[in-house]
Amino acid sequence: MAIRERNLANAKWSILSSIKIIGIGVLQLSLLAQILQANELNLLAIAIVVLLAIDTLADLGFGNRVIRHQNLNNEELSHLYWGNILGGLVIFALLFTGSDIYSRLMGQPELAVMLEMMSVIFIIIPQGQHYRAILQREKQFTRIAFTETSSVLAGLAVTLFTVWLTPSVLCAIWGYLAMVSIRMLVYCYYGRSWFQPEYRFSLKAFAAVRARNG
């Protein structure tokens, strides 16, 4: 009975947090659409699509499925952790250095700054997603729901503050950066009870863990 009640409580928190997150997202987009100039709405649409793609890929990738469904030891988790961070750094470098090329191809000069800011996300996300997967494995759904909701609220606060300072499409990206940063820090805080990375890494061991458990 205790397990059933705990599962119901976790499900309730997850549903409520999802509703809150969707509501906050709609509110944020509505406010930005009212404030931004017409020529910036296209950039906002591009930013939203890219950010949604980043969030989706982050949740599907970075070895999250392996962590959630396999009993890995601390050494194996450490190889995944550092491998994911290395992969994030590679994507950061490619996106940051190629931002001018991408913006020319899209015919949007302002897109370069947006892409440079977005590239930083790939340094932040792998750490938080690694610990989120561990919390999912340990069925810490209440903590996950709290983290997601509080980070979205923090992102909204930063978005509104930057809009108040200088209305721009970049405000949405500043808010997203704040959200993923807060989310990463809270996930790391909660997840340290189950995992603390060892300072060792090899590409061979990383590939072996992914291949063996993928």
pLDDT for 188:
94
Choose among 36, 180, 64: nearest CA to 130: 64
| pLDDT band per the 50, 70, 90 thresholds, residue 8 | low
Q: What would the two tokens of residue 140 be?
A: 């810490």
Task: Read off the pLDDT of residues 26-73 as tens digits, 9 standing for 90 and up.
Answer: 556 666 666 656 556 666 666 666 776 676 666 555 556 667 666 788
Locate the domains of the chain by residue range. 2-213
The first and second tokens of residue 80, run together, are: 């995944």
Rounded distance, CA 13 to CA 133, Å?
17
Q: Has residue 23 got a pLDDT over 80?
A: no
Predicted local distance difference test score (pLDDT) of residue 110: 73
Assign 125 to helix, strand or coil: helix
